[in-house]
Amino acid sequence: MKGSRFLFPALFKALVLPPLVVYVLLHILPRLAFPTPTCLSLVPPLLFPLGPGLLGRVLRISAYLISFPAVFILRSTISARTSSWAAKKLGAHIIPRVERRWVLNVDILQDWARSGSDDEVGRMMIITSDPRVMKHVLVDDFDNFVKGEKFRERAWDFLGDGIFNSDGERWKFHRTFLRPFFHPTHITASNFIIPISRFLAALPPRGQAFDIQQSVGDLALRIAWEWIGGEDLATDELARLGEALREAQKVVGRRVKIGTVWPLFELGKDPLEEPMTALRRFLVPRISRACLARDKRRESGESPEFASEDLHLLDRLLEASEGGDAKLVEDQLINVLLASRDTTNSLLTFAVYCLALHPDVAERVREEVLDVAGPEGSITKETIRDCKFSRCFINEVLRLFPPVPLNIRRTLRPSLLPGPDGPLYMPGNTSIILATILMQRDSAVWGDDAQVFDPDRWADMGKEREGFMSWNYGPRMCLGQPLALTVAHTFLILLYRHLAQPSNNTHNDTADPDTDVTAPRPGPLRVHLAPDAQPEGTRMPDAWRTDRGDGRARGGRDRVWVVADVVLAIKGGLWVRLE
């Protein structure tokens, strides 16, 4: 049975252990302590409530029910005590604990019950937004902080043996293997001009509200496959591929949420079967065609170097894994598709949001890209390099809206984290959440204006600065950064070229006359938020508009409901109109 390696111990711990502990305490210990019936009769009945009759039964059931929170408290206390001893031995402090409303943090059980997970009960789970701790985890003690076996097992049927799903030597192999393919020499704006231009040409007419998050999601997938396979996908194929990826991701997300007992929820049917069949139906014929093309190249004596200008990631992977494993190539492709689609979607969505929210900044981006790149013509690496304000803009979008808002690692062995008053002891086999989004909005790290959108803060800063880890950090830093940045710059240039075209700014017969969107207006089109079109139930709650808010809308600065799932997104989509 899938997942049984973790399932059975977890079932034992969650369902059998708590009543067993209580049974031993109430039933066996008194017998050991008072071995003779005379002694036993001295034990007060409440300490030995297992006799026959209604009272005995009620007490037995109560003891069973109470056993779960009791063992939860016991485990928490034991783990806190053990950590505290180990920390003392090493001259370290213990990590400060969350103080909840109820004694012994029992109210955490409520959250646990809601999450449906068994993983966190009575276990230490650490969260940090301190850049020094993040650096320790991602760089200084890198080998000790892994994604972990449990994640690997839950994602195995989807991500297989890909880079996202591996640790240690296996990860090193993937990283070394893939890195050359992501080198900036293989990435130029020309790879992306056609899909982005088509996307812009298909935008709804002036004045009509539309959800750009949804359509940019399709664009991100189209771009990813264009780069991977060199093919412009037909719309229905794109939709099928997108749906399969979304569904597979949902299943893995659900498994992670449920925790170790996830196999019990999949006894009847494997929910990954359908999406994975669709994914393979898409990938396998393309891999076979690329294999045939490779063999033909070989027969004609064409060396891979000679043809390399025309090769895409898929061809390059096949060249490099010659005679190798087709399943491995398939896994790598799925991992790269997943790595690129949602993150690019998130970056482009929040870039458009920030342009709409800050017209003054948008004006500066518009002026720069049209000045540097001109109203038409090719976009070179130099063009992108010279769009300096746009780069500051993209960095600021990534700072406040990191596409991967949280990351998670697990220790193999205990580790000493840097703390304000000396090292902090972190036990082995413990998870730590790296809250990138909190760190990048923290005034202790970024100053009093940390919540303010200000691209100029990047003008005299290096690209790399402490407290900015949207691309991750250290050996496991994002491989797709050059690609994503090239896509983002190309998108901004083509967007403003598109909006500047007089033909996009003329009278539009199909627009709704009631909304007064048909009258031509002077000047270029601009992107505006369209809160009136936001679906009911997805508008940002009014309470968040004040500067006190609840901290989720950057002190009342945001106008959309930002949700941090696996990837940062906008609840209900980003509704905008061009006017």
Question: Annotated binding residues for heme, as ranges?
Answer: 478
379 with 373: CB under 8 angstroms? yes
Q: Select 59 or 484, whichever has its Cβ closest to ligand HEM.
A: 484
Min dist CB 332 to ligand HEM, Å, is 9
Min dist CB 182 to ligand HEM, Å, is 7
- Residue 479 lies near ligand HEM (rule: CB under 6 A): yes
396 with 454: CB under 8 angstroms? yes
Taking contact as CB under 6 A, which single stretch among the options 6-14, 263-271, 466-474, 505-513 is the one that binds ligand HEM?
Answer: 466-474
- Name the binding residues: 478
Q: Select 150 or 206, whichever has its Cβ closest to ligand HEM.
A: 150
- Residue 407 lies near ligand HEM (rule: CB under 6 A): yes
Report the distance separating Cα 21 and Cα 208, nearest Å.
Answer: 64
Tell me the C-alpha to C-alpha distance, in Å, between residue 303 and each of 94, 124, 298, 300, 391. Answer: 59, 55, 7, 9, 38
Site for ligand HEM in 272-301 (CB under 6 A): none
- Residue 358 lies near ligand HEM (rule: CB under 6 A): no
Q: Select 75 or 150, whichever has its Cβ closest to ligand HEM.
A: 150
Report the distance separating Cα 46 and Cα 42, nearest Å.
Answer: 11
Min dist CB 394 to ligand HEM, Å, is 9
Min dist CB 148 to ligand HEM, Å, is 11
- Residue 395 lies near ligand HEM (rule: CB under 6 A): no
**Which residues, including other chains, have CB under 8 Å from residue 413's CB and lie 6 or more apart?**
144, 428
10 with 269: CB under 8 angstroms? no
Per-residue DSSP letter, 448:
T
- Residue 221 lies near ligand HEM (rule: CB under 6 A): no
- Residue 134 lies near ligand HEM (rule: CB under 6 A): no
- The DSSP bridge pattern shows strands 575-578 and 145-146 to be unpaired
Q: Select 481 or 538, whichever has its Cβ closest to ligand HEM.
A: 481
Number of chain positions touching ligand HEM (CB under 6 A): 21
Min dist CB 554 to ligand HEM, Å, is 19
Site for ligand HEM in 484-513 (CB under 6 A): 484
Q: Output the six-digit token pair for 401.
A: 């809206």
Which helix or strand (DSSP H or E) is residue 77 part of?
A: helix 53-89
- Residue 468 lies near ligand HEM (rule: CB under 6 A): no
Q: Select 164 or 210, whichever has its Cβ closest to ligand HEM.
A: 164
Q: Among 336, 361, 435, 493, which residue sits at the site for ligand HEM (rule: CB under 6 A)?
A: 336
- The DSSP bridge pattern shows strands 424-426 and 93-94 to be parallel
Q: Among 128, 213, 343, 395, which residue sits at the site for ligand HEM (rule: CB under 6 A)?
A: 343
Report the distance separating Cα 183 and Cα 197, nearest Å.
Answer: 24
Residue sitting closest to ligand HEM (CB): 480
Site for ligand HEM in 169-208 (CB under 6 A): 175
Min dist CB 177 to ligand HEM, Å, is 11
Min dist CB 374 to ligand HEM, Å, is 26
Report the distance separating Cα 260 and Cα 267, nearest Å.
Answer: 14
Amino acid at 491: F
Min dist CB 164 to ligand HEM, Å, is 6
Q: Select 354 or 525, whichever has its Cβ closest to ligand HEM.
A: 354
Tell me the C-alpha to C-alpha distance, in Å, between residue 464 and each of 166, 300, 473, 474, 510. Answer: 26, 46, 10, 11, 48
- Residue 260 lies near ligand HEM (rule: CB under 6 A): no
Q: Select 332 or 430, whichever has its Cβ closest to ligand HEM.
A: 332
Report the distance separating Cα 59 and Cα 66, nearest Å.
Answer: 10
Cα distance between the two ends of the chain: 57
Min dist CB 404 to ligand HEM, Å, is 4
- Residue 349 lies near ligand HEM (rule: CB under 6 A): no
> Residues in the chain, how many?
579
**Which residues, including other chains, have CB under 8 Å from residue 530's CB and lie 6 or more apart?**
209, 575, 576, 577
Report the distance separating Cα 493 and Cα 375, nearest Å.
Answer: 9
Report the distance separating Cα 312 and Cα 314, nearest Å.
Answer: 5
Q: Among 158, 471, 544, 561, which residue sits at the site for ligand HEM (rule: CB under 6 A)?
A: 471
CA 403 distance to own-chain centroid: 7
Amino acid at 110: Q
Q: Select 279 or 347, whichever has its Cβ closest to ligand HEM.
A: 347
411 with 427: CB under 8 angstroms? yes
Taking contact as CB under 6 A, which single stretch among the options 3-11, 90-98, 262-270, 470-478 is the one that binds ligand HEM?
Answer: 470-478
- Residue 404 lies near ligand HEM (rule: CB under 6 A): yes
- Residue 213 lies near ligand HEM (rule: CB under 6 A): no
Q: Select 67 or 340, whichever has its Cβ closest to ligand HEM.
A: 340
- Residue 569 lies near ligand HEM (rule: CB under 6 A): no
397 with 374: CB under 8 angstroms? no
- Residue 483 lies near ligand HEM (rule: CB under 6 A): yes
Report the distance separating Cα 216 and Cα 87, nearest Å.
Answer: 49
Question: Which residue from 251, 68, 67 is spatially nearest to 155, judged by alpha carbons?
Answer: 251
Min dist CB 24 to ligand HEM, Å, is 42
Cα dihedral across residues 143, 148, 153, 159: positive or negative: negative
- Residue 137 lies near ligand HEM (rule: CB under 6 A): no
- Residue 476 lies near ligand HEM (rule: CB under 6 A): yes
The site for ligand HEM (CB under 6 A) is made up of 163-164, 175, 336, 339-340, 343-344, 347, 403-404, 407, 470-472, 476, 478-480, 483-484
